[in-house]
Amino acid sequence: MSTSLSLDDAKDAKSEAESANLRESDAGIEERFDYEENEVANVRIHPETLVTFDRIVDYGVFNTPDDFLDQRQNVQNAPSGPNGENWGRDGYVVLENPTIVDGQLWAEDDDFTDYRIIGDVTDEYSPYEQDVSVGDDGDAVVEGVDMGMGGFDGEMADSPLDAEYIQVFVSARRAGPLLGQLDTAGMWSHAEDGSFVEGILETPPEFGTDDYDPETHGAPRAIGYPELREDMVGQRGAILYSFQSDNPTQTTGIDIDFFTVEDGDLSALSPLTPEDDAYNLPEYPRGGRLYWEHDDDVESQDMGEDVRPNTDDGVAEAKAMLEEDDTTNDSGMPYEGLSEDGRAFVDTAVEAINKKGFASITDFDDWDERYEKAKAADEINVEQDVIAEIIDSRL
């Protein structure tokens, strides 16, 4: 069958859909960031740090295939797929003229990441430690930062961050909240009354109820390509990485929050709702990209105050909701049955395993030492083989 269409035509159409102008608004990014024309430094950020920037020039999700919007799990990590595969993609945000207000800059010895920005690891507050060895001359040599299971090799930069643009990576575990904070139609696809409001993340109808099981029902998914909210277009802002506890450990959860900066004042962003002035429906239709059948019964669509945030305080609650999981393993011990520190310990371990490309937590040479250290700090209270099963079941 002959046709005038081509693969290039399809890719051009996809690109146009991703960057389409929005309905009578200044939202969205008119042109995608040109990586060939502009140099960009690849950066990972950790608590406790604050970075300001002149504007957001791009943001979205890495490695989106042609069927991205049709996939059941395309952003937020879910426990497992029908064939045991992992779901989830890293998010990113490109910032122009970044300035580190609080935090240290480290040059990383990595094939891809150029820098790390991290809070002062020598501070008593920090749960992270410098990775130190002793040289032949007997002097201590700092080789990087130990962040528990993981960390990085590198050295503290001897000059300030000198980059016009930085591309900040956000792990799949936190990519959903990143998209939700910055999207023109907000975080959630449905409002509390069940109405469709075209927010970036669709949740299973059971999400937020006592019946919700991510293994069965799935995790939140993107229903469209993200469009930058109008009040952040060309807006000076800041990004904050902070621990969720005043007394953090290496496994304490992390929050990522954005702010506008005007006249030296910070104003925290909350995901937009239809009541906000900056809220805009995308021109590119999201309605047809829903995966689940949503009941017309309004009561069944009520997501609850603790799921859909209306205030700054609700952002942390929503993030915690996105990360909840009832996954079990052969021992019958549920992930959700662990303490908050225990779940954070597991999440950190999974991230470290994926980064190293290992098959199991037991592949780490210092696994016994890490377990004993966490148990001594009362972060976990289960046997080593049980916590290992929980970790490996989430790979």
Q: Do 308 and 339 fall into the same domain? A: no
For position 297, what pLDDT does the model report?
A: 43
Confirm whether 223 is domain-assigned. yes
User: Would you say residue 370 has pLDDT above 80?
Assistant: yes
- Assigned token pair, 328: 């079990």
Identify whether residues 348 and 246 lie together within a single domain. Answer: no
- Residue 90 forms part of a structural domain: yes
- Within this chain, do residues 132 and 200 fall inside the same structural domain, yes or no? yes
Secondary structure of 75-112 in the HEC alphabet?
CCCCCCCCCCCCCCCCEEEEEECCEEEECEEEEECCCC
Give the residue from 287, 319, 351 where a domain finishes.
Answer: 319
Asked whether residue 341 carries a pLDDT value surpassing 70, the answer given is yes
Out of 269, 284, 319, a domain closes at 319
Residue 99: what pLDDT? 93
**One domain, residues 107 and 69:** yes
Which range, 16-20, 154-158, 295-299, is most confident? Answer: 154-158
Is residue 209 a part of any domain in this protein?
Answer: yes
| Whether 257 and 144 share a structural domain | yes
pLDDT at 139 exceeding the cut of 60: yes
| Claim to verify: residue 274 and residue 367 sit in the same structural domain | no
Residue 309 and residue 339 share a domain: no
User: Is there a single domain that holds both residue 235 and residue 115?
Assistant: yes
Q: Is residue 63 part of a domain?
A: yes
Query: What is the torsion angle, in degrees rounded to the nearest 10, for the CA atoms of residue 313, residue 316, residue 318 and residue 319?
Result: 160
| Domain span at 339 | 335-393
71-105: per-residue pLDDT in tens? Answer: 888 887 655 555 544 567 889 999 999 999 999 99
Verify that 175 and 290 share a domain, yes or no.
yes
In a domain, 1, yes or no: no
User: In terms of domains, do 376 and 232 share one?
Assistant: no
166 with 230, same domain: the answer is: yes
Looking at the fold, whether 23 and 63 belong to one and the same domain comes out as yes
Domain boundary among 319, 350, 374: 319
Task: Write the pLDDT tens digit of every residue in 172-221.
Answer: 878 888 899 999 999 999 888 788 888 999 988 888 888 888 778 888 88
Residues whose CB falls within 8 Å of the CB of residue 48, separated by 6 or more in sequence, listed in order: 102, 103, 119, 125, 126, 241, 242, 243
- The C-alpha atoms of residue 61 and residue 175 are separated, in whole angstroms, by 8
Segment 308-313 mean pLDDT: 34
| C-alpha–C-alpha distance, residues 152 and 235, integer Å | 32
Residue 324 falls within a domain, yes or no? no
Work out how many domains the chain is built from and give that number: 2
In a domain, 129, yes or no: yes
> Does residue 8 lie in a domain region?
no
Q: What is the largest CA-CA distance in the chain?
A: 75
